[in-house]
Structure formats: structure tokens, C-alpha cells
Structure 1
Amino acid sequence: MDVEFILSAWLRSTEHEVVNRIDRRLDLATNLEIETAEELQIQNYGVGGHYESHLDCARNGDQSAYKELGTGNRIATVLIYMTEPEIKGGTVFIDLKISIPCIKNAALFWYNLMRSGEVDMRTLHAACPVLTGIKWTANKWFHERGQEWRRPCDLDQIEQERYVGDLGAPEPKHHLNIRSKARKLKEMKNKN
């Protein structure tokens, strides 16, 4: 995997209120359990910074990937563009033949695994080189554990799902995010 001119850092939600707010928003926007997700990854791409084509999850049969986390494979990805480089730096999904420009404050969401747990090879993607300017991104990877009620296993792979999407758009949510609603009710109860 060819990676050039990229600096990365990982931030816990307990380190700063802004990170905590981002995590809470991603929990609500994706309807996925944030407790078993990885720490928020911040990346800086300088001029020439890019990331060759890759999957965000372990390939089928790779039992050792993410074993130390104990949370299973990466079920979904959120990619947030925090800045907009002057020229290029977008994301391309090779098999889907989709090119998404890097637009400040835009967020992409996709499932890396199908409902059956199989890797969705259509999520093979790359970060295009930044030609002028800099690019800052934030990544959040959600894992399988904790999603059993929010995204149950199923053989119907594409029912009510989009594989690449904008978090600002309407998203089908047939499985109520009970945990987040319960947390809100508890907070309201404590205020009274």
C-alpha cells in the first residue's frame, strides 16, 4: 500500500468535548453503536498526499485483523472532509466508478460489510493526490460488535441500504436507535 505525505493522530471522545460531540452525532446519523467504534482518526495530507486503493475492513478469512480490539471487523466507515484543498484530493470508489470531490464539512458514509458479514468489494477506494493546498480528514470506523440490533444479519444484501452516501441526506432507519433515545430520556429525567 503506497501512502505518501500523510500525518495521522487518533483522538478519544474523553479527550475533548468536540470529539465527544462528533461521536454522539455519528451515533445518531449512522444509527450504529459508537461504543465499539475505533477512536476518531485525524489525517493531514500535504501536497502529493494520497492513499492507494484499499478496503477499510479485513478481507474474508483474515481472523487476525482487529483481534486486539475484540470488536470484530470494520462494518462501516464515515469519512469527514475538514478542509478543501485548492486542487484535487477527493475519494474514488474504483468498482462503483464514483469520484467524490473533497468538499469542506462534507461527510461520506458506507458499509464495508454486507449484512451477511461478507466484505463488499465495491467499497475498494483511494484518496486522490492533493495537487495544491492541504487536506484534513477525520475517519470513524464502526465494528461488528454492538451492531446486532442496529444492523441485523440478513441475506438480503441491499435492502434499504446505500453503500456510499452523504450523511446529510435522508437515510432509511428501520431499526430504532434505542440506546441514543434512552440516553436522551435519562438526561431529561435527570434535569427534572
Structure 2
Amino acid sequence: MISISPYVTLFYDVITDQEIEALKAAAQNKLQRGTIVSSGTLHIHNYRTSHVALFQNWDSPEIMGPLTLRVAAITNLNTETYVPGSAFSAEQFQVASYGTGGQYGLHYDFLGKEVLHERMRTEAFSMFGGDRLATFLIYLTDVERGGSTVFPKLDVALSPVKKMAVFWYNAKPSGELDQLTVHGGCPIVVGNKWVSNKWMWNYGNTFTRRCGLTPKATQLDIEPYMRKGWV
């Protein structure tokens, strides 16, 4: 455990070498320059210099299916992407590649009013299930030098470790978006960095991530109830 509030934890050996190589191979022909959202529009900017590929479970079912279930088992959250007739629980897996000098400046994973116009934010809420509740980030490679994931407001810097994952909640148990989760990817000095991440959303996890009983409740206060399940 790296931090209690916001809740940030590390997990090791969450993916196999075979799965990593299969993911990287599948991503090669799908990689496109990563974008950022500004004023409701996607932009290419040196603020984010990775190349990314998106995968639905059916794109590579032998990899994505088990990995989706594994993330669910680790986090106790619903991780399936949209199923007709049900609430949206999570986005598809994203695979990102950073070459030498590659970086991602400080940012939040939640959307919030700062990122999207109010109209687009309302549509996102209704169509996609609220906002990004939590992030699960898997490191697919070690990095010889650089490439740390930093949380400056927590005074935390995490060096990439192959097969390791960092998991955090972007919102407090009260539902308030957590401003302490601002983070970034430091420039790659030597080597390359590959990562894969999955974002879980609010509405599909309404009855999975329990609400805090007080405004100051932390994840540790509700974790035992999440692990026991709802009645």
C-alpha cells in the first residue's frame, strides 16, 4: 500500500511473459499517437508523447478475457465493457508505448468539468456511466532509466517494474473527485516503456464500490464490506 487516502496500492506478477508479448505484438499494427482532451476536442500535443492502441475483449479474447477477469478479482470492481441493457462498468484496455524521451505530463484520469464542456460531460455521464472511478495500470516492461509514474501531491514516484500494477481510486468513498490523484509519466531517459491500463467507471460499480458512511471515510473503511459483497 502506497497511500491510504487517496487509496494507491501495488500488485506484482499480475500478467505473464506470454501475455505481455502477445499484447505488444497485437498492438503493433494498432498504435496511434496518443491525444489529450482540451475544450471538448482531441489534440495531439507534446504533453503526451505515447502511441496507444485500444482493445475490446473480442479483439484478442484469449488475452483480454482472462486479463479482464483478473483485474476484477484483484480490485473487487466490475471490469466488463458495455453490455446492452446494463450499466457501463469499464473502458476497454489501452496499451501504450513510450520511446526515448516519451512522457505524459501531470494530469487526472477522471474527466471532470475541467476537461469537457458541461454538455459533453452530461452526455458522457448518461452514455458511459459517470466518470472514471479507478485506474489499474500494468507495466509491461522494465525501464533502464526514467519513466517513473509520479504523484507529486503524495510525494510518490514509482519506477516501472515489469508485471507490476499500480491501482488507485480517482474518487473518494464520498463520491468527490480526488484532487490528490494528479499524476504523470516522467520522460524515458534510456530504454522503452510499455504499459496497459483499464479505467473502471462509476455507474457499473454503484453496488460494488460501497459509499462511505461519513464524508471523511477512506477506502480502508469500506474495503471489508466490498470484499464480503452486498446483501
**Scaled by the length of structure 2, what TM-score is found?**
0.67
- For 2:55, the equivalent position in structure 1 comes to 11
**One-letter code aligned to 1:31:** N
Shift of 1:5: 3.4
Q: How many positions carry a matched residue from both structures?
A: 170
- DSSP 3-state at the match of 1:25: helix
Stretches of structure 1 lacking an aligned partner (at least 5 in a row): 163-171, 180-192
**One-letter code aligned to 2:142:** E
Q: Do residues 158 (structure 1) and 158 (structure 2) align?
A: no
**One-letter code aligned to 1:14:** W
Q: 1:34 aligns with which of 76, 79, 82?
A: 79
Give me the CA root mean square deviation: 2.3
Q: 1:50 aligns with which of 99, 103, 117?
A: 103
Distance 2:174 2:111 in 1: 15
Distance 1:79 1:161 in 2: 24
Distance 1:161 1:50, change over 3 A: farther
Distance 1:134 1:177, change over 3 A: farther
Structure with the larger helix share: 2
Q: Do residues 22 (structure 1) and 80 (structure 2) align?
A: no
- DSSP 3-state at the match of 2:128: coil
- DSSP 3-state at the match of 1:21: helix
Distance 1:161 1:10 in 2: 34
Distance 1:159 1:134, change over 3 A: closer
* Paired residues of 2:135 and 2:168 also in contact (CA < 8 A): yes
- % identical aligned pairs: 32
Distance 2:49 2:111 in 1: 24
**One-letter code aligned to 2:163:** N
Shift of 1:67: 4.1
Q: 2:202 aligns with which of 126, 133, 144?
A: 144
